[in-house]
Structure 1
Amino acid sequence: MAMRRWRGSWCAVLGLLLLTLPAVRADGEWRALEAGLELGRFEIPHPADTRPGIVHVLRIDPAHFRFRLLAASATEERKPRTARGWAVHAGLVATINASMFQADFLSSVSLMLAPGHVNNPRVSRDKAVLAFDPRSGELPSVRIIDRECDDFESLRKDYATLVQSIRMVSCKGRNVWGESERRWSTALIATDKAGRVLFVHVRTPYSTHELINALLALPLGIDRAMYTEGGVQAQMFVGSGELKREFVGSFGGSFTATTGGPSVWPVPNVIGIERR
């Protein structure tokens, strides 16, 4: 009973804190980079600081871009690279973390495969699977499969590239991540109600549950979302025309956390896009 009263008091305090935060630009700003590609910047409230957090969103129209999975395990040198390094190496317009990885610094924690290469054949308990490279032109070119409401065993046969990770927003549009006080930077991939794909990077440390609620409140029309990385290794690169932007995560969970050094951490697996 005492624990329930404590939780109730904490929720009341948190609610009052959110009410005292300054107004933020939830409408955001979109910059058209090229046909089918926009970069957005949004401010969201932070429950532990009066300053807003910053969300960067790359909105991608699959009609203009193909998706690719790049894995160090599929290369001769088996060398991880930064998101920027992968983009330069493969001539891609943008890249973001594909998923969390294991201690060998090569293998994804869950299922990951592409045409001609299997990084990890194991299907874990995680409920989200990014699927692209359809085997039929009648299928959506890219989608997030929700294993709780979609027939994954059937759908997995329709796509040549599959990347499994942790579900953030369910097929019903709900925040399905448990609450926690731990905060970190985040990279994620989402789809919106118009069928576009969103690469999202948030350097400001949030608990994942807090962040999902904030993202669902933005005018992004998020339909489904999956977690791809957290902390200092969460990164995204955008290189379109004259624009070259690298977004990196931070050490620690404080609002003023730093990158911990001048270099960006290499990662073994990324999702990238190239022009059709």
Structure 2
Amino acid sequence: MVKKLIFFGTLTLTFSFTACSQVEEENIVQQADSLAIPQDTALISPFKNSSYTRYDNKWIELSKGISYIERTAPDSAIVNNSKISILKIDPAVAEFEFKSATQNNRELLCVVDYAEKFDYNIVINAGMYDLRNYYKSKGLLINNAEHANNPQLYPNYNMMICANPKKEGLSNFNVVDLTFHPWSTIRSKYSSFSQGLRMIDAEGRPMSWNKRAQYCSQLIVAEDKDGMVYFIFTRSPYSQNYMINFMVSMGLRNAVYMEGGPQTSLYVNIGEHRIEKLGSYVSNTYPTDANGEFWPLPNVIGVRVKK
């Protein structure tokens, strides 16, 4: 569920609708997903996001160990430009923080404001939130040794993002499949954790999302075999199965679904490169490409490039 906050002086109005998310993963995908859209889906697309033409279908190095590309999807989406934005990060060149409004007097910020306030170069969603409590992550979210937004594991969320290792030799940022490495084996190795819904397992096998297909903007975190981290964003609406198959074609593994719909956010500000990507479309509940602003978020992952 999305909660949109509108402020009028001292009065706050909240509007809610369901975001593009699943409760639990299912089986391994057996066949490619169709792009067919349900006939009852309304198509509205007055807003067109800016085109970053210099990144079109070619990797551009933003700084040492960090590159960005906007790939044209194999199939055209029903709205927007059918681009899939991919940010590739070598964890060795970056510092990672899991930041929550519950650490900051419950102040909700958009990704740009988080970046400016906490000196981040990159900011993304830190996962889906609890439908009953907007400030609380749906899955486990341990920010650091001093603060836990949600210390409880969520059933059937089988992927864990880990950061800030306590032991030498571990990656600064690691995505772990809990069906291969149980929580009890990793909890003492890192200080920061964010639990999410698995899309591709540790061996690169795709998971199937078998509910009635939704088509939405999405943000995904994944890894490759070398431990490089990928932040993958699409504003153009695709189904989760379509994005899973796209990532499998890239050879990615340990993919975790972070968010979908208009609150989906990717912000990058490195040197001369400023990239702002915001989501919009959800076929079942918010079938519009009209969103033109970053939404305030309760939990984010902030990245600083090491000097």
Shorter-chain-normalised TM-score: which range?
0.7 to 0.9
Written as runs of structure 1 = structure 2, the 5 A alignment for 1:115-194 is: 115=144, 116-125=146-155, 126-179=157-210, 180-194=212-226
Superposition TM-score, scaled by structure 2 size: 0.76
Written as runs of structure 1 = structure 2, the 5 A alignment for 1:231-250 is: 231-250=261-280
Query: Residues 69-93 of structure 1, C-alpha deviation per residue, up to 9 Å, x if partnerless?
Result: 11111113x1111111111111111
When you count helix as a share of all residues, which structure comes out higher?
Answer: 1
1:94 aligns with 2:122: yes
Superposition TM-score, scaled by structure 1 size: 0.84
Aligned to 1:252: 282
Distance 1:48 1:135, change over 3 A: closer
Across the two proteins, how many residue pairs are aligned to each other? 252
1:141 and 1:121 map into 2 onto residues whose CA distance is: 21
Distance 1:242 1:178, change over 3 A: same
Query: Residues 174-220 of structure 1, C-alpha deviation per residue, up to 9 Å, x if partnerless?
Result: 111323421111011111112111111111111101111022223xx
1:230 aligns with 2:260: yes
Query: What residue identity is the alignment partner of 2:283?
Result: G
Stretches of 4+ moved more than 4 A in 1?
A: 11-16, 47-52
How far did 1:149 drift? 1.1
1:140 and 1:53 map into 2 onto residues whose CA distance is: 33
Distance 1:84 1:169, change over 3 A: same
Distance 1:178 1:74, change over 3 A: same
* Residues 44 and 52, structure 1, Cα contact 8 Å, conserved in 2: no
Extract unaligned runs of 5+ from structure 1.
1-10, 17-26
Extract unaligned runs of 5+ from structure 2.
1-30, 37-55
How far did 1:155 drift? 0.9
RMSD: 2.6
Aligned to 1:24: none
Aligned to 1:32: 61
2:35 and 2:280 map into 1 onto residues whose CA distance is: 27
* % identical aligned pairs: 27
2:187 and 2:98 map into 1 onto residues whose CA distance is: 16
